[in-house]
Each structure stands twice: as C-alpha cells, then as structure tokens.
Structure 1
C-alpha cells in the first residue's frame, strides 16, 4: 500500500467533508491504522506538497494540511465517478482527442496521456485517443491549464467503418482485464460483506476502528477502477460484464461500514482552531 495513494483516499473519503484541512498529528495517527510509519507518511506529504496536491499552513506550532485547488478538483472528479448511480444515455458519438506535441515537450505529452487515461479515454493510436463519453470540457480544462491548445484537437464524430462499436472498444481497452479485476474484487469482498452483515443482524458490536480501516481499504481498492474502467454506455458493454455486480457490492458494504468509520475518524480528527465546528460542516 503506497502512503501517497492512501492519503488521497483519506482526504477524499473523510477530510474533504470536514473542512478539507487536518492536523498532521491526526493524519499520521489515521495512517498508522494501516501499519504506515510516521516517517513514511511525512515523506508522502512532502511529495504531495512538491507535486502541488497539498497545501500547508502553521497555526502556532502545529502544521495543518489541506488539498490544493488542483487536488480538490481531482477528488471531486473521483467522487462523482465512484458514487455515480446511473450510466448516462449514449448519444452514439465518439469524442476524439488528437495531439502532436513536440519531442522537446515529451514530459507534458506523457502527462497528457496519463490525464486522458484517467478520464477514461482509450488509445486508438499513439496520439489519438477516443471516448464514448462527453468529456470535452474536462479535456479542455487540462489542455488550457497546461498551455498546449496549439497542439491538441478535439472532435465529436460518428464511427463509419470498419469495426463494430463493441469491437472498437475491444481494440482500445482491455475489457477482459477490467472484467478480471472486477471478479477479483467480488471474490475478496463478498465474503467480508456477508460476514459483517450477518454479525450486524445478530446484534454483534463492530469496533469503529475496524469499520474505518475496512471502509478505507474498500474505497482504496475500488478507486483503482477509475484508472481502468471508463464507464462504458450499456450499448458497448460485453454480454458478460461484472462491473454492475461489483458496484452494487461496493455500495452495500460501504453503507454497512460508513457510520462506524465516520465515528472513528471524528475521534482522531483535529481541525485547526479557526475551523468551523463539525456540526456546521456538510457531510457527504
């Protein structure tokens, strides 16, 4: 488990709903629940500061960390996709992003590829990426923020020939790999969900700390699907698709763990002295 990746999960799942800022002591204590040392956590925080994901400030002799505007946008995008309830109706159009970025700017080019993959685009050719979803505004934001609009074009197009739409999806995305990842998720978490559900139905007490760790790991794992599953419209899904089953399992288990996990977080969480009281913070 990479400390930086888990920090994204903790901020996205908890901190962003409590004013978006947290004392470093609380953060290291929470991360310690996963066996991560204070040294490892502080090193990850330093990297995230350098990369522009986090911001820091001092209040007295204490350090507090919050997500930067860039970090908040990424968390908002992730939350919108993770907790999305329904798939949009497909308009039958493909969005195409094509670029020709010079070799001298290959660092920017590589970063653009990562951003397109994160959004859910599939690679048709090295410099041509496609998506069945309307992600035009998100691509525009990325391109304009990096000042590379002179090298990138976006199209809204019909697919004429020669592959069928599902075949095109098979060419640009590894559907079998995505399905296998969902199968693994179901295999790991269905027994855990069913066991906890039975215990709760029997009136057993589930420790809040267990709920916090288990829910965080659940979200941490499920968040990985954002990098491989572009949220295909129904028309493009294969006949055997485990994404829906995995999604339902995720939400069911999440709901079981949520209350206890939130209680544990609130016991450890320490906001800055000038933060709003918890009762004034809007929870998810």
Structure 2
C-alpha cells in the first residue's frame, strides 16, 4: 500500500485537492471513510469545481496514498486510507480542540542531526517540523509549546524520522521579554497577515449568515460557504501552534480569527451536514 505522502494541512487551501480532503474529514468518517464518486462530484460542483478538475484531484490523492478505490455494493467510490484517517483524527485535536499554552508550561525542543548522505531525510524532517508549526531557535534546533510534545513525537514516528532527533522538555530561564523571544523564533508578521486574510475573506460571509433568520432553509448555500471556510482555517492552527498570549503582541489578531471560525461552526456546521446527507441519500 502506498504511504500517504502529504498531510492535509500541507495542501494549498485554494486547490480542489484541499476541498476534497475537507469533504472526507468532515463527512466521510461517519461512513467508515467512504464517499461515492457521484457524491464527491456533486459536492465539488456545489463548491464551484467541475467534474474534470475533481476527478484529476481525486487521482492525485490516490497516487499520494490518501484515497483508495472501493465499491459499496455496485456503487463506485473512494475510501480514505487508514493512514489518512489517522492523520485526520490527529488533526481534529489541533483544529477543533486547540488550546493556547500558558506562560509557565514550558517548551518542547527538537534537536536533529542528519548525515549528508541522507539529505532527503533532512528536508523531510524540516518540512515535518515546519508543518507542525515549530519555531526555529537555531540550525537544527526547533521549539514548540510543551503541550504539543505528543503530537510532535507522533508525527516524527509516522514519518520514520524519530531516530534522527532528540526531543526534550525545557524551561526558558532567560530574563528576556518573552514577546521578543517568540518573535525571533516564529515569523509573527507573516502569521498576522495570514490571520488578517482569513478575516478579510470570511467575516462578511459570517455576518450575512448571522442576518439570515434560518440557515437551515438554505442548506446548499450553507455547505458552499462552510467548507471553504473550514478548508482555509485548517492550516492556521499549525502555523500558530497555540502560543501563549503572554508571548504574543497585545490584542493578538488570532483571537478574532478563532472567534470567526467558531461562529462558522455554530452557524453552518449542522445545515451543511444535513445537506451532505441529502446528497448521499439521493
């Protein structure tokens, strides 16, 4: 079996592949990870993606080990691979259950050394740690809030890279301002710009739905607005690994973005899910 080669949050949120990953994450798991081809094509059409682009994206996800063709009776479809389902489940904790670290929790440090003869693994290791949202203290030394230690270890194990690393829990004992320290470890300006883009794209959409007396009367529209908002959000909890507010600029824009994401889920999650069930049953 092909090993899944890309984490869902690594895929550009603007691509059909990212939308399909969201469909499987949101709606396939109650059916053991399976969606029919007809359902995938229909739902992607509702998201503005034509059938040819959808089938091309499904093919790419199949090649990457994310999807496996499987029939349910006479109905052709695709099932998320076991590894893909495990990654999606792990992502649930990060995306829907993320909590912010506190100032006294400390850090997890990852120190790696990869021989020149295995430089491909060095690239994979850096990509894995970047995807998890770790900051960089210096060459070969990465850092994250301590509450992510289990997630970091699980990702290193899944990628087969644990043997190239040493992982520590640590306390920062310097008297330096934590805001300055964290700003040196993470690109907060880029992160702030990404949060601002999310707010720009989706604040108006949420406001329109809040003015609607009954979103359940427009389930197809709810679905078409909900999935792109979830897809765009999915990468943000990895770029910002739940850094302590004490280490972030005052009035951190990420809090407004988190509130917007929560509003989307409250407003549209259920109407969108009911629409998908209607499509699956038709």
Q: TM-score, with normalisation over the residues of structure 2?
A: 0.85
For 1:158, the equivalent position in structure 2 comes to 171
Q: Secondary structure at the match of 2:212?
A: helix
2:39 to 12, 15, 26: 26
Matches within 5 A, 1:1-284: 1-84=14-97, 86-161=99-174, 163-200=176-213, 206-269=217-280
Take 1:204 and 1:251, find their aligned partners in 2: how far apart are those partners? Answer: 16
Q: 1:115 offset after TM fit, Å? A: 1.9
Task: Verify the 8 A CA contact 2:132 2:239 in the aligned structure 1.
Answer: no
Aligned partners of 2:103 and 2:247 also within 8 Å: no
Is the CA contact 1:12–1:75 (under 8 Å) kept in the aligned structure 2? yes
1:7-65: CA deviations, max 9, x gaps? 11111122223432111111111111122222222222222222222222234553221
Q: Give the whole-Å Cα distance in 1 for the aligned partners of 2:187 and 2:148.
A: 20
Q: Which is worse superposed, 54-63 or 100-109?
A: 54-63
For the 8 Å contact 2:99–2:242, the answer to whether it is kept is no
Change in CA separation of 1:212 and 1:165 when aligned onto 2, cut-off 3 Å: same
Shift of 1:66: 1.8
Q: Is the 8 A contact 1:22 1:270 kept in 2?
A: no
Task: Give the CA deviation at 1:78.
Answer: 2.1
Q: Identify if the C-alpha distance between structure 1 residues 269 and 180 changes in structure 2 by more than 3 Å, giving closer, same or farther.
A: same
**8 Å contact 2:34–2:79 — kept in the other structure?**
yes
- Would the alpha carbon gap of residues 239 and 16 (structure 1) be closer, same or farther in structure 2, given more than 3 Å must change? same
Q: After alignment, is 104-113 or 151-160 more displaced? A: 104-113
Shift of residue 76, structure 1, vs aligned partner = 1.6
Q: SS state of the match for residue 135, structure 1?
A: helix
On the 8 A contact 1:120/1:231 being kept in 2, the answer is no
| CA distance in structure 1 between the partners assigned to 2:104 and 2:37 by the alignment | 47
SS of residue matched to 1:14: helix
Do the aligned partners of 1:90 and 1:133 also contact (CA within 8 Å) in 2?
no
Deviations 1:72-109 (A, max 9, x none): 12212222222226434454422111111123323322
Change (3 A) 1:161 1:181: same
How much has 1:111 moved relative to structure 2?
2.1
Q: For residues 216 and 251 of structure 2, what CA distance do their matches in structure 1 show? A: 38
Unaligned runs of 5+ in 2: 1-13
Q: Following the alignment from structure 2 to structure 1, what is the Cα–Cα distance between the partners of residues 135 and 154?
A: 19
Structural RMSD (CA): 2.4
User: Which consecutive residues of structure 1, in runs of 5 or more, have no partner in the other structure?
Assistant: 272-284
- Asked whether the equivalents of residues 119 and 135 of structure 1 are also in contact (C-alpha less than 8 Å), the reply is no
2:62/2:68 contact within 8 Å kept: yes
Residues 215 and 268 in structure 2, CA contact (< 8 A), matched pair in contact too: no
